[in-house]
Amino acid sequence: MTRTSRADQSQNRRQFLRIVALSAAGLLTESELGVGIAGAEPNGRLLGLVEFQDEKIAPVGTPIGAELDGRLYTDLSRVSTRRIITPVSEFFVRTRVSRLLSYGGQWQLRVGQSGRLEISSLRAASREMGTHLMECAGNVRLTRFGLISVADWTGVPIDEVLDRARVKSETSWVDISGFDEYAGKSATSVPGASWIFSLETLKASGAFLATGMNGQSLTPDHGAPLRLVVPGWYGCACIKWVNRITLVDDDVEATSQMREYAIRTLQQGVPTLARDFAPATIDHAAMPVRVEKWISSGKVSYRVVGIVWGGSVPVKDLRIQFNAEEDFVPVSGFRQIRTDPWTLWTHEWSPKAPGNYSIRLAIADPAVRTRKLDLGMYVRSVEISEV
């Protein structure tokens, strides 16, 4: 990955401190700060945000690096009830477009042995496919968990794509591949844009080939002209620059991309055969995205704002903990109706004393799978200086 320079780190820190200072002076409104309310607004005045600790100061909303080493991180602190959808310019990017990719508006999707579909026909057939979340399987604290975003997608369902290509086969597995040639060598990744699915799984998930997001055509970094979207699956399976759908047997070997992401998608080891890979679905997860500092009648208080995402059934009981020695308590402002894309929550917090606090979430339902949450992968820490 391209390293953030000391100058960039200093600039990001200065920008953060500027926001806090303007808010404290009453010169920056809540709307301008992008901290919309998910719940009842606290009484008083917003002083600013408390910075998360021990997280690399990665630039957000700005592309860095190139090709397989290219990234763009989303600023989660700006998520609000008024800003559920991530703007295209801020939607995360795990791999940027190859410098070798140039199609000049001409693109063919090869399907099966002889099927061919022009990009123009797929765009003409595209329709609204809903609002869906996407997360990179390698979303970690060092990048401020910025590899997760939400968009309104347009595209064509996979089963309709196969019908349009007049593909008829008893084969129940498909390999969906994308352009994967790069001008430079990668320091972080293995070339190979390909994932193998059962047709039943793709149809059940509502998978589609996307041609647009947020009311506009896909951009090159987001997979233009065609990107696979599998709702509820990690982004590593959502192949970009799709140019081929191949019918395969159920004893086909796993692709290099599947093997690269086996650990991050919590597989049992690294299976040799594609059929032995568990679906790369996102478990239920939750984390804070910002900690707001308020003042009312001379008294300082805090409010934690966060998100819940993943899984297939709504969460009924979300709990929060401030440091390992404290008990988990119910999140005060939480109610989830659906799991996709994400649900905002709030929790009023009155720390007993200044100090460092590690904020951890838990879902109090033993029937719900929360593997990464259980491993503490979404814990975030803050330093409270005033109570």
Pair 253, 336 in one domain? no
Question: Is 91 part of any domain?
Answer: no
Element containing residue 244 per DSSP (H, E): strand 242-248
pLDDT digits (tens, 9 = 90+) for 268-297: 999 999 999 999 999 999 999 999 999 998
pLDDT value at position 62?
A: 92
- Is the pLDDT at 6 greater than 70? The verdict is no
* Residues 331 and 208 both lie in one domain: no
pLDDT score for 46: 94
pLDDT over 90, % of the chain: 77
Comparing CA positions, the residue from 207, 241, 244, 208 lying closest to residue 224 is: 241
245 and 265, same domain (yes or no): yes
Contact 178, 194 (CB under 8 A): yes
Lowest average pLDDT, out of 18-22, 96-100, 109-113, goes to: 18-22
Average pLDDT over residues 46-73: 91
* 103: in domain: no
Neighbouring CB atoms inside 10 A of 369's CB total: 17
For 214, the token pair is 């947020």
For 88, residues 6+ apart whose C-beta sits below 8 A from its C-beta are: 151, 213, 214, 216, 219, 222
236 and 291, same domain (yes or no): no
Model confidence at 35: pLDDT above 70? no
Q: Is residue 217 part of a domain?
A: yes
Angle ∠(86,265,160) on CA atoms, nearest 5: 65
Average of pLDDT values for 110-120? 92
Q: What is the DSSP string of 79-128?
A: --TT--SPPGGGS-BSSPPPTT---TT--EEEETTTEEEEHHHHHHH-EE
Q: What is the CATH number of the domain that holds 238?
A: 3.90.420.10
Instruction: Please check whether residue 329 is in contact with residue 349, taking contact to mean a CB–CB distance below 8 angstroms.
Output: no
- The residue segments making up the domain with residue 160 are 108-276
Which residues are bridge partners to 358 per DSSP?
A: 381
Phi and psi, residue 278, nearest 5°: -70, 150
* 184 shares its domain with 233: yes
Assigned domain for 86 exists? no
264 and 338 both lie in a single domain: no
Q: What is the DSSP letter of 145?
A: T
Per-chain mean pLDDT for the chain: 89
Residue 134 lies in a domain: yes
**pLDDT in the model for residue 54:** 87
Q: Are residues 153 and 56 in the same domain?
A: no
Please, what is the Cα angle at 159 between 156 and 162, to 5 degrees?
A: 95
The number of domains in the chain is: 2
Contact 133, 309 (CB under 8 A): yes
Tokens of 351: 């720390």
| Nearest C-alpha neighbor of 212 from the set 105, 121, 123, 99 | 123
Whether residue 351 sits in one domain with residue 224: no
User: Residue 136 falls within a domain, yes or no?
Assistant: yes
Tokens standing for 313? 């059934």
Residue 208 pairs with which residues in a beta bridge? 157, 229
162 — phi, psi (to 5°)?
-65, -40
Which of 225, 246, 276 is the C-terminal boundary of a domain?
Answer: 276
**C-beta of residue 286 within 8 angstroms of C-beta of residue 308:** yes
φ and ψ at residue 17, rounded to 5 degrees: -65, -35
Q: 3-state SS of the chain: helix, strand, coil percent to 5?
A: 20, 35, 50
Residues 294 and 151 placed together within one structural domain of the fold: no
Same domain, 178 and 234: yes
Q: Give the pLDDT of residue 38.
A: 47
Looking at 212, 246, 276, the residue that finishes a domain is: 276
* pLDDT class of 40 with cuts at 50, 70, 90: low
For residue range 193-251, what is the model confidence (pLDDT) as tens digits? 999 999 999 999 999 999 999 999 999 999 999 999 999 999 999 999 999 999 999 99
Instruction: Show the tokens assigned to 119.
Output: 């990009």
Of 247, 276, 305, the last residue of a domain is 276
Q: Is residue 56 part of a domain?
A: yes
**Burial code of 329-368, b = ≥16 C-beta within 10 A, e = fewer?**
eebbbbebeebbbbbbbbbebebeeeeebbbbbbbeeeeb
Q: Is residue 54 part of a domain?
A: yes
- Mention every residue, 6+ apart, whose C-beta is less than 8 A from residue 183: 67, 98, 99, 100
Q: Are residues 192 and 295 in the same domain?
A: no
Residues 160 and 264 in one domain: yes
Classify burial at 249, counting beta carbons within 10 Å of its beta carbon; exposed 0-12, middle 13-18, buried 19 or more: exposed
| Beta pairing partners, 354 | none
